[in-house]
Chains A and B, each alone.
Chain A
């Protein structure tokens, strides 16, 4: 059912350039040849060791990078990384930061204003919502970031290991929100090292190794193989 495919990744490769000496560079391939499809409403998990290019892949899917080789066809209206604290300014209050963060993610001001009350109450910041960010603790900043990012989330959501922010209580709430988003009809691509989370949430797992796809398919099978390797 090709009409159901929302993102199609074909033979994608990307190399990073590193400076070697005067006017000389060397290239380090992060991804060599990656192909997979994502269907509408599906949750796809991406696993692999550190530095195999998982985050690079998410940056490619969100349109931050263009692949050097191959192509990505994306039919979604909006695809973006769940970036906590995108464009935050420490001197501005929580409200201003939520507005600018939302606008940078491509939402209209009206849409953001409509969500502001929800962001304020979800983040549980109280009066601090109107105080400069520099007066926040790390956890409070994370809460504001998470509240903003999840209330203004796109059709295809890309998540890079962000389950769990703030204190225990908020962590539970955040995890519940994430799970609800994942289990709804939203399309989610998730990168995580937590095998239990992946097994629970994903419909399919893509395992990347040495810039190539080592295996993909049913979570239990692929995760078992990954853990044995």
Chain B
């Protein structure tokens, strides 16, 4: 299969998966909107109303952190099972194994575009003025995507090799959730720990989303560059790993 054919089939399969997913629900495509809204509402209820945390703008602060985080968590959590989930198809035809995680990333990201647009509309309606900085937030999104793809592809292979990891990933995600500053600001952390805090790329990216969307600042270009560089290395590693284990994976997932 040539690479343009692979991309075409990834795109087609992602579209059809979304269609298939919508077909089984009464509210079909409306769930693209409802699911994240319900999720965000829960966090809002807990942190704003029950715990009474944060200041007057806490809800915007929370949402700009939560929207990118939910995208990341979903892709990592479910995407890491994508190779295992493809075992039937792998046994029937030869298909490059990158197909499986990439289809999942694509279908999740199409939904994310929708959720992100809703976040922007919500911010606009709440009186945050759209500025050129908002365009930079789209760039932050692209960086996040480029970072997540190799991460989930690698995790999917690791899970194929050692299924046990499947039990560890949700816990790690939970830990990362608490360390990404979704419901607290970086200012609440002692300054000597800031560098440590930003080693977590999601913490840094969420901070950049807030800078661009809420504070009308430009993102920290150097930081984004570092994430891109790190991602590029992960990409190289991922491609090597998939090339080398193209056939091993088929056998592993069927064991």
Contacts and interface: CB of A to CB of B under 8 A. Distances in A.
Nearest to B251: A65
Interface stretch (A98-106, A178-186, A215-223): A98-106
A106 B95 CA distance: 9
B93 A80 contact: yes
B25 to A, nearest CB: 10
Contacts of A75: none
Interface in A83-119: 83, 86-87, 89, 91-92, 96, 99-100, 103-106, 108-109
Interface in B1-43: 1, 5, 8-9, 12-13, 16-17, 19-21, 23-24
B142 interface: no
A65 B19 CA distance: 32
Interface of A: 16-19, 59, 62-66, 80-81, 83, 86-87, 89, 91-92, 96, 99-100, 103-106, 108-109, 132
A91 B23 contact: yes
B223 to A, nearest CB: 39
B255 interface: yes
A92 B16 CA distance: 8
Contacts, number: 70
B91 A104 contact: no
A106 B255 CA distance: 26
A91 B24 contact: yes
Contacts of A16: 251, 255
Nearest to A15: B251
Contacts of B95: 104
Given A19-B255, A63-B94, A87-B93, 8 more contacts: A62-B94, A65-B250, A86-B89, A91-B21, A96-B16, A100-B13, A100-B16, A108-B5
Interface string B118-136: 0000000000000000000
B250 A92 contact: no
Given A17-B251, A62-B93, A64-B90, A103 B19 contact: no
